[in-house]
Amino acid sequence: MCGAAMNTRILIVEDHALLAQSLQFALEDDGYEVEVAADISPEAVVKAADRFRPAIVLLDLDLGDEGSSLPIIPPLRDIGACVVMVTGEENRARLGECVNAGAMGIVPKSAPFGDLVSAVREAAELRSLLPKPDRDALLAEMRRQHAEAEKRLAAFSRLTMREKEVLAGLCDGKSAETMATEAFVSLATIRSQIRTLLQKLGVNSQIGAVAMARRAGWELDRD
């Protein structure tokens, strides 16, 4: 057993069972104490970490049906774990979001398996896999893309909630008649709301409004 592995606990949070099991076996052969999260829902992962008290959490960014693991990085860090993202994500802004949330390392799933295991060993020894220049570059890209997104979405912030709902209906392919029926309002009311939102967005047609929303990545916040 190597010195770095001795008494080092690792929690694997991964929705691909084969990869999780392969990592577990390889790391256990190195002498690490490894546990694979049986339930990868956010609440269950945090509870498992609180119980197991890992030094390192190998965390997949995309947990399938459970969605993004980004929200659970801070509570895992609060428990005292070094969070290392093991992910297929290549968007540098999203990787920057992981770093901003507290991740100390990023290992691509595309890396050879041996390199992945080596990266975990390095994290066990150093508690970090990101040199400061790499960290700063990811954070800068995150800020750049966020600023661009805010600029694209600025026009939509001028819409009232009802106008946003009408725009969402147009994006879903609903007719004015259908939206009027669903909202229990007159057709004239819906048409008036459409005219107003077109003016605010600076477009001349419903097709133009839908195209603009899709280019900007706009979606109605239904919460």
List the pLDDT tens digit at each of the 223 positions of the chain. 344 555 689 999 999 999 899 989 988 988 899 999 999 999 999 999 999 999 999 999 999 889 999 999 999 999 999 999 999 899 999 999 999 999 998 988 888 888 888 887 787 776 667 888 999 999 999 999 889 888 889 999 999 999 999 999 999 999 999 999 999 999 999 999 999 999 999 999 999 999 999 999 899 876 5
Q: Does one domain contain both 59 and 127? A: yes
121, 144, 167 - which closes a domain:
144
Q: Does one domain contain both 100 and 39? A: yes
Q: Does one domain contain both 99 and 135? A: yes
Q: What's the domain range around 72?
A: 9-144
Measure Cα distances from 48 to 26, 35, 36 in Å. 21, 9, 10
Residue 139 has φ and ψ, to the nearest 5°, of -65, -40
User: Are 34 and 28 a contacting pair, CB within 8 Å?
Assistant: yes
Instruction: Give the DSSP H or E segment for 152.
Output: helix 132-153
**Rounded distance between C-alpha atoms, residue 212 and residue 152, angstroms:** 9
Q: Does one domain contain both 82 and 174? A: no
The alpha carbon of 136 is separated from its chain's Cα centroid by a whole number of angstroms, namely 19
Question: Parallel, antiparallel, or unpaired for β 56-59 and 105-108?
Answer: unpaired
**Rounded distance between C-alpha atoms, residue 142 and residue 192, angstroms:** 39
pLDDT of residue 24: 92
pLDDT of residue 111: 82
Q: Does one domain contain both 112 and 199? A: no
CATH number reported for the structural domain that contains residue 197 in this entry: 1.10.10.10
**172-175-177 Cα angle (round to 5):** 140
Q: Does one domain contain both 87 and 197? A: no
Confirm whether 1 is domain-assigned: no
From 178, 172, 199, 202, select the one nearest 190 (Cα to Cα). Answer: 178
Question: What is the three-class DSSP state of 216?
Answer: helix
Q: Does one domain contain both 116 and 171? A: no
User: Are 8 and 27 a contacting pair, CB within 8 Å?
Assistant: no
**Rounded distance between C-alpha atoms, residue 25 and residue 32, angstroms:** 10
Count of the separate structural domains present in the chain: 2
Q: Does one domain contain both 100 and 21? A: yes
Q: Which residues contact 182 (CB under 8 A, 6 or more apart)?
A: 169, 174
**Rounded distance between C-alpha atoms, residue 123 and residue 104, angstroms:** 8
